[in-house]
Structure 1
């Protein structure tokens, strides 16, 4: 498994870092990611559960987009899990025989970064943008109320 991941990542680096522009470079990058996709046994239960958890997280983010407290809580949970990814990778490397058919947990943490951390970082970006939107709406509302009541801005 580690060799397949290394080969896929080498291909991706070559495609993106090779200085080639245009469709040829993108085609090689897509081929590299497809190599990664085919190197992983996606039918394993723990991977299905992880993907289901990611889908549930994005549904929770979308359904709580009006609540700054819920979004803040989800943000904190995502950040804590991303910060714990190195430890999770170490535990996965030590105990992979109990739940996986092959060892996906390489020493550099590439696999865990792709399947765990990347979706969580994307989720935190969605939450951050939403919280900025909520904050902007609150600032507009405060400005309207001040203008309506004639209160001067304090510093």
Structure 2
């Protein structure tokens, strides 16, 4: 056991688990930066639905394969980190990898729902404007033929 490591039986709750993680590890800093970059990308591409759909499926695939990633990382942890975080239950990878990815997926879904409500409200406004325009045209057409008929009749009488 390396100095500074905590035995698994010493972790009594989620908070003690989070406190046992060495957050200054370059691997974890890179992972946090990746999550921040993903969040910023999701926010900046809010008007590009096709890219967001692609990003959404990539994130969901990463979450789906997190168990495989955890197994690979458990066997090769010394190549990229100082401590063995990758337990067989997957608590670490769920905490630092899957949960942030799922939060980004929720952000994307929230953006899609917001865009959908904006689109539906602008569509309804356009429908109401079109109906109002048709009613005005219909009312104008109902009164216009009578005026044209009387003016035509008058022109025949004067001839």
Q: What TM-score bracket applies, with the shorter chain setting the length? A: 0.7 to 0.9
* 1:2 and 1:104 in contact (8 A); partners too: no
1:65 aligns with 2:69: no
Q: Cα deviation per residue 1:40-93 (whole Å; 9 max; x = unaligned)?
A: 222222111101101111111221223322322221121111111001001001
Of the three residues 3, 10, 26, the one matched with 2:7 is: 3
Bigger relative CO (Cα 8 Å, ≥ 6 apart): 1
2:37 counterpart of 1:56: yes
Q: What is the root-mean-square deviation in Å for CA atoms of aligned residues?
A: 1.9
Rg larger for? 2
Look up the match of 1:102: 83
Residues 65-104 of structure 1 aligned to structure 2 (within 5 Å):
65-104=46-85
**Which whole-Å CA distance do the structure 1 matches of 2:69 and 2:58 have between them?**
15
8 A contact 1:68–1:134 mirrored in 2: no
Q: Would you say the 8 A contact 2:6–2:20 is kept in 1?
A: no
- Return the alpha-carbon distance in structure 2 between the equivalents of residues 90 and 82 of structure 1: 14
> Shift of the alpha carbon at 1:2?
7.1
Q: Which runs of 5 or more residues in structure 2 are unaligned? A: 132-159
Partners of 2:50 and 2:13 in 1: CA distance: 42
Report the number of matched residues.
Answer: 127
Between 1:62-71 and 1:46-55, the stretch displaced more is 62-71
